[in-house]
Amino acid sequence: MNHEPTRPDPDALLQANRDSHRGRLKIYFGACAGVGKTYAMLQEAQRLRAQGLDVLIGVVETHDRPETAQLLTGLTLLPRRATGRSRHAEFDLDAALARHPAVILMDELAHTNVQGSRHPKRWQDIEELLEAGIDVLTTVNVQHLESLNDVVGGVTGIQVRETVPDPFFDSADEVVLVDLPPDDLRQRLKEGKVYIGDRAERAIENFFRKGNLFALRELALRRTADRVDDQMRAWRDQQGRDRVWHTRDAILLCIGDDTGSEKLVRTAARLAARLGSEWHAVYVETPRLNRLPEARRRAILRTLQLAQELGAETATLSDPDEAEAVLRYAREHNLGKIVTGRRPQRRWRRDSFAERLGQLGPDLDLLVVALDEPLHDAPHPLADGRVTSDKWRIQLRGVMMALVLCIAVTVAGQSLLIGFDPANCVMIYLLAVVIVALRYGRWPSVIATVMNILAFDLFFVAPTGTVAVSDLQYLVTFGVMLAVGVIVGNLTAGCVIRRGWHATVSSGRASCMRWRNHSAVR
């Protein structure tokens, strides 16, 4: 046996080595200009300088704000690079790389460099600084994220030209949200702490309208919350997925293959909209259920499509155990609320889908929705109209089976049970009724009972060959036999339906039956 330890993946080692030499990126993120991103970045720079780190200012825009400019005291400023094609000086990337500070400040992440620069965008300059092992502090507003550019344009009516790719933003080691209420921000504008002179008045009347500030603030908060949620999920994946962390409301809907699932879908959609949460809808296809008729499968697909149209993320799972499949999916996607259905149940029914979910997943919240449609009164419609024809075909086969069993019991009683008390034949006849009820339902069992009474009277009760009865006690036997046969047949067939067992006959095989267990709650 080879006891040599497993060699590590060279690609993984190379990636880890590359990441260890890469600089750290910290982004100060805000809803719009004036919330204090640059101020917060300079405060962090002063803190790092006090710890003895080499901090260099690559680009900082104070916009003539005195309190921001004061924070530049003691920090080293990198001279700008003069360009012949523009009157504005630009960031000197080569000088920063040669200087190689521990930390460099790069304000306005979405800035577009002047033509002739090495990179067209400032975030590309920052990428090269990070690859060189330099830590970078930078700032950006929510309207500059590429994925939200059209959303911001639709809200504010202003199209932002300078954007930052979302993957670069998401690759940051740390994102600090700098937030300020809209009223406070507008007050800062009026006091000239954001823009000076007429520019501040124009900003208040246009981009900095209160409604715009509310929308931008919500976008910034949500984008930050999504990033934190991704970090939480990544950390949770490292720790294992044994339990669901209820950090946000998320719903998992269990769709069954019976009627009433449409009500479940709409209920889950309303609940998700009220909670403002994401929701998923799943259907578990077990080996027993994957043989459903094509029309039933199409009905399930229509239900899943309805859930998708209402905003759900849908999935079809394949697993022999429905409850375990649902719990595994809920834990993988950190879904803390499971919505399932419940039908009216008898007292003796104990094991249900919801109860099993509760036993296997005590850390999950179960929301059970009552379903009004009874399962056996609402068959799934088939596109070719075969529901009625199949039903009558099964009933007819049941009657034929009842006739065959009646003849078999009668022949056996006359040839094999000679000398036995006729009451033994009565028990065999009742057994035949139970068999018919189990396989074909209620009405064939009732017909079987009537057939058996007539056969018993004709062949075992004197005078034989007629329906006349010489001994009146047999009238009581006939009555009890009829009552017991009808009751046993109804109870046997009724229990099958109430437990959700449906029998279907395979095409081309007259006596081949398949039982499907449809959970009453899903």
Mean pLDDT over residues 478-501, rounded? 63
Q: Give the lowest-confidence range in 13-17, 295-299, 456-460.
A: 13-17
Neighbours of 407 (CB within 10 A): 12
DSSP state of 180: -
Neighbours of 493 (CB within 10 A): 23
Amino acid 417: pLDDT? 60
Give the closest residue to 428 by CA, choosing from 443, 414, 413, 450: 413
Range picked from 170-179, 231-240, 252-261, 292-301 for highest mean pLDDT:
170-179
Amino acid 133: pLDDT? 94
pLDDT in tens, 377-405: 444 444 344 445 556 777 788 888 888 88
More confident residue, 114 or 505: 114
More confident residue, 254 or 516: 254
Q: Which residue has the tokens 């059970």?
A: 368
Strand order from edge to edge, sheet including 278-285: 313-318, 278-285, 250-254, 337-342, 365-370
In the chain, % helix, strand, coil (3-state, to 5) comes to: 50, 15, 35
Mean pLDDT over residues 425-441, rounded? 79
Q: Give the lowest-confidence range in 209-213, 405-409, 464-468.
A: 464-468
Are 31 and 142 a contacting pair, CB within 8 Å? yes
Neighbours of 497 (CB within 10 A): 16
Give the closest residue to 111 by CA, choosing from 38, 43, 52: 38
Neighbours of 382 (CB within 10 A): 17
Average pLDDT along the chain? 76
Range picked from 190-199, 259-268, 302-311, 345-354 for highest mean pLDDT:
302-311
Task: Determine the Cα–Cα distance for residues 161 and 435; give it in Å rounded to an integer.
Answer: 78
pLDDT in tens, 234-248: 666 665 555 665 556
Amino acid 201: pLDDT? 64
Mean pLDDT over residues 350-361, rounded? 73
DSSP 393-458: HHHHHHHHHHHHHHHHHHHHHHHT-TTS-HHHHHHHHHHHHHHHHHHH-HHHHHHHHHHHHHHHHH
Task: Determine the Cα–Cα distance for residues 33 and 200; give it in Å rounded to an integer.
Answer: 12
Mean pLDDT over residues 288-305, rounded? 77
pLDDT in tens, 310-327: 888 888 888 888 888 888
Neighbours of 198 (CB within 10 A): 8
| Contact partners, residue 102, CB within 8 Å, separation at least 6 | 48, 53, 54, 55, 134, 135
| Contact partners, residue 154, CB within 8 Å, separation at least 6 | none
Per-residue CA distances from 117 to 30, 89, 112, 419 (Å) = 28, 11, 10, 113
Is the pLDDT confidence value at 105 over 90? Answer: yes
Per-residue CA distances from 178 to 36, 65, 495 (Å) = 7, 17, 64
The two three-digit tokens of residue 397, written as one number: 């086969």
Mean pLDDT over residues 139-161, rounded? 88
Give the number of C-alpha atoms closer than 13 A to the C-alpha of residue 30, restricted to the C-beta side.
24
Amino acid 122: pLDDT? 94
Is the pLDDT confidence value at 151 over 70? Answer: yes
146: confidence class by pLDDT, cuts 50, 70, 90 = very high
DSSP state of 319: -
| Contact partners, residue 195, CB within 8 Å, separation at least 6 | 34, 63, 189, 203
More confident residue, 196 or 414: 414
Amino acid 487: pLDDT? 77
Range picked from 271-275, 358-362, 464-468 for highest mean pLDDT:
271-275
Task: Determine the Cα–Cα distance for residues 409 and 456; give it in Å rounded to an integer.
Answer: 10
Is the pLDDT confidence value at 24 over 90? Answer: yes
The two three-digit tokens of residue 87, written as one number: 């009157």
> Could you give the percent of the chain with pLDDT greater than 90?
22
Q: Give the lowest-confidence range in 268-272, 392-396, 435-439, 502-506.
A: 502-506
| Long-range own/partner contacts, residues 237-244 (CB < 8 A, 24 or more apart) | 241/331, 241/332, 242/331, 243/331, 243/363, 244/330, 244/331, 244/334, 244/335, 244/336, 244/361, 244/363, 244/364
Task: Determine the Cα–Cα distance for residues 306 and 253; give it in Å rounded to an integer.
Answer: 12
More confident residue, 363 or 223: 223
236: buried, middle or exposed (CB in 10 Å: 19+, 13-18, 0-12)? middle
Amino acid 62: pLDDT? 85
Strand 513-517, strand 501-505: pairing: antiparallel
The two three-digit tokens of residue 401, written as one number: 């089976």
More confident residue, 260 or 484: 484
Amino acid 501: pLDDT? 37
Task: Determine the Cα–Cα distance for residues 413 and 402; give it in Å rounded to an integer.
Answer: 16
| Contact partners, residue 278, CB within 8 Å, separation at least 6 | 250, 251, 272, 313
Is the pLDDT confidence value at 464 over 80? Answer: no
